[in-house]
A = this chain, B = another copy of it.
């Protein structure tokens, strides 16, 4: 079920110091909200629908620091279990570090390619699975799973929830990037020890994701793995049940029919 949290070694971790309790017990503060107007709602749905995992479409233009800062702030605004904010974002532009990250991709890519044979193997080798050389900026997302000490509110039931928080941060960053005209590719094929060595990441810190970012002026209309025939998009009705597992009765079909 669970992904265990590795023990913290005696070596110093990069945890921030324990925060002092605030002097006031409660400062509840609310703001009135309403549904976004139609144009704003459409903008949110447009970011969600047109976001792509970019491999080949990166332009060489640099990303302005102010834009990069907005993307990082969007990521940092993500929800996190027990408000632990476990993430750290490494922004990599140094050519030597970049080359080392590309080596970490190639190492894992050769290993994975060997697992697909025959027609599937040919199809695999025809795919472009990273854009690390083309993208001007790399972002590595890590999790400090010890950041709040051993007992984290909400994480006691599932140790993986802190990693899920990091994925929410990545999705925030991805959607903000889409709105900024910046493409993002999540390079999941990467040798973790090589990546760790390339960026001096301590053993106490977990590597969550390697992202490639760069400006784009075109995107695929649907995922590359769909266009290249690797897999088909599932129907929404096939991934929704009502009230219990396996219940595809009138409920979800009625919902989906209204789409």
Q: Which residues of A contact B (CB under 8 A)?
A: 1-3, 6, 14, 16, 19, 21-22, 24-36, 39-51, 53, 57, 65-66, 68-70, 72-74, 76-79, 81-85, 87-94, 97, 108, 111-112, 115-116, 119, 123-124, 126-127, 129, 148, 151, 153-158, 160-161, 163-168, 170-172, 174-176, 178-182, 186, 188-192, 199-202, 205-206, 208-209, 216-223, 225-234, 236, 238-246, 251-252, 254-256, 258-259
Q: Give the oligomeric copy count.
A: 2
- Could you say which residues of chain B place their CB within 8 Å of the CB of A93? 242-243
Nearest 8 pairs between A and B by C-beta? Answer: A3-B3, A35-B181, A167-B167, A40-B43, A154-B188, A83-B225, A43-B43, A171-B171
19 additional contacts (CB under 8 A) given A33-B218, A158-B192: A2-B3, A14-B245, A21-B229, A24-B229, A27-B228, A29-B221, A30-B57, A32-B217, A33-B216, A36-B43, A36-B181, A39-B39, A39-B40, A45-B74, A65-B258, A72-B236, A89-B241, A90-B243, A90-B245
